[in-house]
Structures are given as structure tokens and as C-alpha cells.
Structure 1
Amino acid sequence: MKLTQIRNATLKLEYAGTRFLIDPMLSDKESWPGFTGTARSHLRNPMVELPLPIADLLDVDAIIVTHTHLDHWDEAAQQQIAKDSMIYTQNDSDADLIRSQGFSNVNVLSDTNVIAGIKVVKTDGQHGSDEAYAIPEVAERLGDACGLVFSHSTEKTLYIAGDTIWVKPFEESLFTHKPDVIVLNIGFANVDGIGAIIMGKQDALRTIEALPSATLVASHMEAINHCLLSRSELRNFAAENGIDKNLLVPEDGETLMF
């Protein structure tokens, strides 16, 4: 398995001979405004440039979009990705949206899928607190976001948790699939008056306590205005709590091999 942290939640994954691009955000630095009503909304997004040429990122067999928020599927991705690319989405609504943008080979993930001989399980999460989802307009804005579990006889099991806080479906996924490698979107993105809508550093500790055999990979950091947890803060927290051997905090463009 080769896993490259591109930027924000964008990952390139080489797994059992198949290359995936996950949650492509391909815009140039500072192309669009910060998200209104979120922390540090005066900052423009993305906050950093892509670390690799777009042509390298698009040299893949399939693309998976866990949800269609702008920082996971932006206008640049819609323009740069070939319209006949193999794309997988979490649900019919996202598939319809992407088809409306001119893409002709869009597939909806089932609960369990086989892609090029690789088992891919779609998992649930929750993109914010119960209190946030109790507010209709906030619930509509947050929407749904899925996670992904990859497994194959020749590879370690990989769980990409997606945009979620710690909720029962995440915990159940840990114990059901017992992944060897877990990617956590851990930038602690905050919405004004609502709080965190993805995980933070305490969730890294809690995950390792729940599944101490796993290796965690930190993603979704330092690229979008409302992500408040920095890599340096996370590394310091990991060292202070004795989890630094379980937690990898890659820089943008860095490739990890498992």
C-alpha cells in the first residue's frame, strides 16, 4: 500500500495494484473565499498550493468522492478531471450532482463493493454534533459524508474515516473491521456557534486507546480556513501522550508505505 497525503482530505492511494484518487480538491492557492460562518473565515482557500502536478494526481484508475463539499470536490476538480473518469460517490444525490457537471461514468457505492478485486466497504459517520444536526439549516449544510474500508488478501486493511466526529458508527467500524491503518480527518474544523465538525487531537488518543494495534495517519490539516489543529500541535500532543509511535503526521506530498 502506498498512501500519499496530497492536501486537505485529498489522498492518492495505490492498493493491490489499483490507483485511487480520493476527494480531489485541485484549486490553486487562495482561489476562493473562506467558508462563511466558520473559524478564520477571512482567510482564503485553499491556504496552500498543491504539492504535486495535477497530471500526476489524475494518473489513477478510479476516483472516490466521499461527499461533495467544496474542499473535497471543487470546481478545479470538475474542470481538470476527464469527463469519462470512473467516479464513485456515497449516494444517489451526490451522483446526480456530479453527472449534472458532465461526468458520464459515475457509480453509487453500495454498503459493500468489489473494485478491481478489492473489497471496499462504505461506512457511516456524522459531520458534526447531534446539536448541529438538530438545526435544519445546519443539518442541510453539513449533509452526509461516508468513510471507506479497503481490504485485500495482499494488503493491510485501510480505514479512511472521512469527515466525521467520534460517533457510534465510527467506533463500530473500528471494532468490526479492525483496520491496520486508519486515516483520520483530524484538522478540528470549527463552525461558528456549532463547534467541531471533524475530529481533533483527543480523537487520535481515543482511537489508539480503542485499537492500539493500528497506525493512525493524520489528514485534512492546514489547508482550509476553519481547520484549527496544526501539525506541530498534533505532534506535540502525540509525544506528550505517548502515542507518537502510532500516529503519523505526513506533510503534503509525503508518501507512506505499509
Structure 2
Amino acid sequence: MKIHHLRSATFVIESGEHYILIDPMLGGKGSMPPFSVFRFKAAKNPTVDLPKNANALLSKVNQSLITHSQTFGFKPLQHGDHLDPAGEKFLIEQKVPVTTLSKDQAYLEKYGMTVANGLTPWQTTPFLGGSITAVPAQHGHGWIHKVMANGCGFFLQLPNEPSLYISGDTVLTPDVRKALSELKPDITVVATGQAQMDVGQPLLMSSDEVMEFIRLSPNKVIANHMEALNHCPIDRDTLKRSLEAEGLNDKVLIPQDGETLEF
């Protein structure tokens, strides 16, 4: 298995003939408005462009997983950092089969995407000769997660490959703990940017939660969702310092945009 990190939460899983695109935010630098204008410095998103190898990888994509997309079915509230207009256009024009939560299926189909699998949380579904399980995600602490419309993570088991748990946009919950302890993934992916809007509590795990997630993970951890969005204050260097202070740096991979990890 190869994991090609593109930007923020967007990456491509390569397994044999399968190229699986995760959470496609594919627009150019500054193609979306700021996600915070008071708490953090206002800047259009994404704050960086896709890496130079992105187009070559995207040309091979034949599946997509979307952890979350819609809020109350209202298009202006779509989570553009996981599915932006350029990502939509790509999925529609290339007719890429999408796997997502069943609650998001009708929304994506309404806007022209092809949903091959609408998943029910904790129900295992056949996928590419292996299986996929949706793990509930809670997109924030306090009341804000209800406004954010919670998505999911994915536990992926492909033939002759290490198992992979993409935790998605979530805080540390009993469901996340269950996925780590019972599913025992060989690789986990965690969003570490500590995103926060101008109102409400953080949308992702705090530093303490991230460290606990890493300790609970049975094997290697990949950190993402950093250095591409103006409402995510944690950068790679800050995370590295936290990991070193906790003695966890050897367990965690922090890929640069455009970097490939091989397992």
C-alpha cells in the first residue's frame, strides 16, 4: 500500500490497480473564502496550492471516499475542505464511484456524483475485494458538532494490505476508542490541525486528545489536516515539538504535501 499525501485531509491510497481519493479538496490556492476572520488571521482557502505531482495521481483515481460533505442539505454550508467545487467537478466528470455515509448519499447524488456505497455506521460492507466499515465521528466539542453535521471515519481492509483507519474530522470519542482497541488498525490517520471557527469550541482533537489517540493506536499513525486552511492553527513543526515532548515522535509520520508513504 502507498499513501500519497496531497494537501490537508486529501490523499490517495494506492493498492494494486486501485487509486482511492480521500476527501477531494482540489481547488487552487485561495479558491474558497476564509473559514475564520476573527479568531485567526483571515486568508482565503486553501492557503497553499496542490503539489506538482497531484495531476498525475488524480489521473489514476478510480474510487473516492468522502468522510463528510453536507450540513442540513444546504449547499453554502458544504464542508469545502473535504469536498470543494473542484473536487465535485472532478468526481462528476471522471464518473468516480463514491463511498460515503448513507445520510450524505442523496445530497451527493443530487449534485451529480455517483455514490456506489452509502454506509451505515459500524456496518461492514464489501469493498474492492476486501471490506470497509464506517466509524462514527463527532465533528467538534460542545454544541458546534451538531451544526457541523457529523460525518464518519473509515476502517479499510484491502486484500494483502495493512488495515487502515482514517478517523476523519472528529474529537476523541468512545467510538474512536472502540475502533482503535477492537479493530486494531495497522495504520491510523488523524486530523491534527485543531480547526476552530470564530464561534464554538474546537472542531478537531485538542493536543492532549491527539497524544492520547496516538498512544491508543496499536501501530503507526499518520498526521494530516495541517498547513492548508486558515482555521487550523497547528503546523507540522508545532506537532513535532509536542510529539518529542511526549516521546511519541517515532510512532508518527507527518508527510509533506506531495510525499508518498509506503507500507
Could you tell me the TM-score, scaled by structure 1's length?
Answer: 0.90
Alpha-carbon shift at residue 67 of structure 1 (Å): 0.8
Percent sequence identity is: 32
Residue 64 of structure 1 is matched in structure 2 by 65
Q: Does 1:26 align with 2:26?
A: yes
**Corresponding position: 1:222 with 2:227:** yes
Give, in angstroms, the shift of residue 240 of structure 1: 1.7
Amino acid paired to 2:102: N
The answer to whether the Cα contact below 8 Å between 1:16 and 1:152 also exists between their aligned partners in 2 is: no
Letter in 2 for 1:101: Y
Question: Which residue pairs with 1:136 in the alignment?
Answer: none
Query: Contact 2:6–2:54 at 8 Å: present in 1 too?
Result: no
Contact conserved, 1:83 with 1:104, CA < 8 A, in 2?
A: no
Aligned partner (choices 162, 173, 185) of residue 167 of structure 1: 173
Residues 153, 84 of structure 1: alpha-carbon distance in 2 compared, 3 angstrom cutoff = closer
Aligned to 2:260: 255
Normalising by structure 2, we get a TM-score of 0.88
Classify the secondary structure of the residue corresponding to 1:184. strand
Q: Which amino acid aligns with 1:215?
A: K
One-letter amino acid of the structure 2 residue matched with residue 157 of structure 1:
S
CA contact (8 A) 2:54 2:258 kept: no
Partner of 1:122: 134
What residue ranges of structure 1 are gaps of 5+ in the alignment? 134-138
Aligned equivalent of 2:209:
203
1:85 is matched with which residue? 96
Distance 1:196 1:31 in 2: 24
Q: CA deviation at 1:58?
A: 4.1
For the Cα contact (< 8 Å) 1:2–1:13, is it kept in 2? yes
User: Alpha-carbon deviation of 1:89?
Assistant: 1.6
C-alpha distance in structure 1 between counterparts of 2:114 and 2:252, whole Å: 39
Aligned residues: 250
Asked if 1:236 corresponds to 2:256, the answer is no
Change (3 A) 1:223 1:38: farther
Residues 65-97 of structure 1 show CA distances to partners (whole Å, capped at 9, x for unaligned) of 1111111000011223325221112123x2222
Q: Could you tell me how far 1:99 is from its partner in structure 2?
A: 1.4
**RMSD of equivalent CA atoms:** 1.9
Counterpart Cα distance in 2 of 1:214 and 1:6: 22
Q: 1:204 touches 1:216 (CA, 8 Å); kept in 2? A: no
Helix, strand or coil: the match of 2:189? strand
Counterpart-to-counterpart distance in 2, 1:38 and 1:199 = 21
Q: Are 1:47 and 2:47 matched, yes or no? A: yes
Are 1:73 and 2:79 matched, yes or no?
Answer: no
Q: Shift of residue 54 of structure 1?
A: 3.0
Report the alpha carbon displacement of residue 13 of structure 1 after superposing the two structures with TM: 0.3
